[in-house]
Amino acid sequence: MSWKTIQSTLGNLGQNVQQGVAGLNITQQTGKLTKSFAEFSQTARERLGTLDQDDVTELPEEYKDLERRVDALRNTHSSLLRVAKVYESEPYDYPTQINESLTETATNISHTLTSWAAAATKGTNLPPIEGPDKAPTEHKTLSHALSRAATSGALELGSTGPSNAADASNGSITSLMAKVLKSYAMVQARIGDERLAQDGAIQTGFLQPWQTSLNLGLQAAMKSRQNVRSARLALDAARLAQKNSPEGPKKEQARIEVDNAEEKLVAATEEAIELMKRVLDDPEPIRAIAQLIKAQQAYHLAASDALQGLIGEVEDAAVTAEAEFRKSRA
């Protein structure tokens, strides 16, 4: 056999293989299109009500019950996640966000707060607080905004004093006001920091697992349900085709297709039941909710403790101011 003959034979063989592969791809695509059209036609008949009830395969009651429970879980997951994602946005409790630029004044206020905090920890077992090397982040929480406003007020009131002896009592009250605002600013700054810590804990302990493990489980369950629906439509379409087929080879072929479709539906239903049970039995959502509550409880407790320590000082200042006021009017 000559070399040219071998090349010709190999070339023909390669061409035949390519044609066979192309024919196989066309056959596969045609099969997919035929299946999709059959499912579409079956869906249209069901919606138009042109089918008898017996022509629609009834799914197991266990499957339908699991569907309802998964739908309820999915709705719960979606609604709670939609609200809780607010914890990813720092200014959620301060939506007005009065324009506060990183000016020299804002920087001075932050440095003042830091120096106040450093003085407050002096002589205690708390770690020392050092002033920042650069302008600190201007957090956009309501507590941080209140802290900045109170600091500004304390500095402004503290820089003014009575112009004469007649205004001495007013000056005393103004000094009390500055002192109260100073303490209030420090407490609000601490509460703002606690709120940011809460938000971080919620993002890690609640939002991340709520958006990952639970979401993935729900997606897998919903996809398996779609597979069941497709398998059920394919079975009903095959049964209808068998019902309308004439006796003979076509009838037998239709029967075989019905048997295959039944097997696929059974397998798809069993898989969907397993996946739906898995997502419904997953303890992760409850663990995540526990982390959400734990973070909220820690924040509110810290805020309550901080305010509790301040209220006595402010009430004493109010009593003193009232006495000064009455004294000046006597």
Helix, strand, or coil here: 247?
A: coil
CATH number of the domain located at residue range(s) 52-100+138-330 in this protein: 1.20.1270.60
pLDDT value of position 119: 55
pLDDT greater than 50 at residue 166 = no
Query: Do residues 229 and 78 make contact, with C-beta atoms less than 8 angstroms apart?
Result: no
Tens digit of each residue's pLDDT (9 = 90 or more) over 15-70 = 664 565 455 555 455 545 455 555 555 555 555 455 566 667 899 999 999 999 99
Q: What is the pLDDT of residue 56?
A: 79
Q: Does pLDDT of 213 surpass 70?
A: yes
For residues 286-315, average pLDDT: 96
With b for 16 or more beta-carbon neighbours within 10 A and e for fewer, the 95-115 pattern comes to eeeeeeeeeeebeebbebbbe
Average confidence (pLDDT) over 294-319:
95
Q: What is the DSSP letter of 86?
A: G
Cα separation of the two ends of the chain? 132
User: Residue 11: its pLDDT value, please?
Assistant: 60
The predicted structure's pLDDT at residue 172: 81
Q: Map out the domains of the chain as residue ranges.
A: 1-51, 52-100+138-330
**CA angle 191-196-198, nearest 5°?**
90
pTM score > 0.75 for this model?
Answer: no
What is the per-residue pLDDT for 173? 83
What is the residue-averaged pLDDT of the chain?
80
162 pLDDT exceeds 80?
no
Q: Which residue has the tokens 């106040």?
A: 116
Cα–Cα nearest to 222, from 278, 298, 161, 285: 278
- Token representation of residue 125: 């077992």
